[in-house]
Amino acid sequence: MLEYHQWRHVFKLDPNKSISDEALEKVCESGTDAIIIGGSDGVTEDNTLDLLLRVRRYSVACALEISSLEALTPGYDYYLVPSVLNAGDLEWVVGKQHEALKAYGELIEHETLLAEGYCVLNKEAKVAERTKANTELDREDVEAYARLADQIFRMPIVYIEYSGGFGEPDIVKQVSRVVESAKVFYGGGITSVEEAKTMAHFADTIVVGNVIYDDLKAALKTVQAVKETAS
C-alpha cells in the first residue's frame, strides 16, 4: 500500500452515489494509488460502510474523508479531516472538528489522521454552498491560504478544490511553488487525459471524482495520464 505522500492519482467515491460491482472493480484495479470515500451530502453510516466493505475486496489504499460524524468508523488506512480555510462560517474551519474531538478525541491515532487545508474555488459546487465559501479570490489570496495551511498550521495536505468544474492551472502552479512541506492535492472537473495531465504538472496528487459516474472509461484513462506526467 502506498503512503499518502506517494499518491499521484486517487479516485474519490461518493457514498451517496451508486456504483456497480463491475465498475467498482475497474476503479479499484485501475492502478490508482488510493480510493478516498467522501462526499458533501447524504453521507450516512450505512452507505459509507457498505462502500468501505466493497472497496476492501481489493488491495488499494482506502481513506475516509470525514464530512459527517455519523459515517466515522474504524477500518480505513487514513482519515482525512477537511478544514475549509475560506469558509464563510467558522463551523467548517474548526467547529465540526472541535465537536468531533469532544466525542472521539481519545480514539485518535496520529499516523492515520491527516488534516486537509481546503481552499474551495468553484462557487457552483455543493461544498461551496454548504460552507458559504468565499470563492471570489485572486491568485495571491489562494497563495496566502496555501501558506497558512502549510507553513503556519503545518497541515500535511493543501487541497485546491474546484469540485465539479475544471480549475485554473496557474493558481495550482503558484500554490505548488509556495508550498514547502505539504502535499498539494488538486480536485475538480477532470474529465479527460489532457485535463489530468495539465494539473498533474503542478499538483502532487490528482483527485478524480464525478467523471467515474458520468464516463467510467474516461475516468480510468486519467490514471495512466497522471502517472506518466512529471510534477
Ligand X SMILES: CC(C)=CCC/C(C)=C/CC/C(C)=C/CC/C(C)=C/CC/C(C)=C/CC/C(C)=C/CC/C(C)=C/COP(=O)(O)OP(=O)(O)O
Using CB under 5 A as the criterion, which residues of the chain lie in contact with Mg ion when the complex forms? 163, 209-210
Residue 42 marked as a ligand binder: no
Q: How far apart are CA 11 and CA 170, in angstroms?
A: 23
15 binds ligand 1GP (CB under 6 A): no
Select from 22-30, 53-61, 90-98, 206-214 the region that touches ligand 1GP (CB under 6 A).
206-214
CB 213 within 8 Å of CB 19: yes
CB of 144 to ligand 1GP, least distance (A): 21
| Residue 140 annotated as binding site | no
Name which of residues 179 to 198 contact ligand X (CB under 6 A). Answer: none
Is 20 part of any known ligand binding site? no
Residue whose CB is less far from ligand X, 31 or 75: 75
For residue 63, the number of C-alpha atoms closer than 13 Å in the C-beta half-sphere is 28
Stretch that binds ligand 1GP, among 24-32, 50-58, 172-180, 204-212 (CB under 6 A): 204-212
Site string for ligand 1GP, 142-171 (x = CB under 6 A): -------------------x-xx-------
Residue closer to ligand 1GP by CB (options 117, 209) is 209
Nearest distance, CB of residue 102 and ligand 1GP, angstroms: 26
The reply to whether 168 sits in an annotated binding site is no
Query: Which one of 67, 198, 210, 229 is in contact with ligand 1GP (CB under 6 A)?
Result: 210
Phi and psi dihedrals of 173, rounded to 5?
A: -60, -45
Stretch of residues binding ligand 1GP (CB under 6 A), selected from 49-57, 89-97, 98-106, 202-210: 202-210
Is 62 a binding residue for ligand 1GP by CB under 6 A? The answer is: no
Please give the residue ranges that form the binding site for ligand 1GP (CB under 6 A): 12, 161, 163-164, 187-190, 207-211
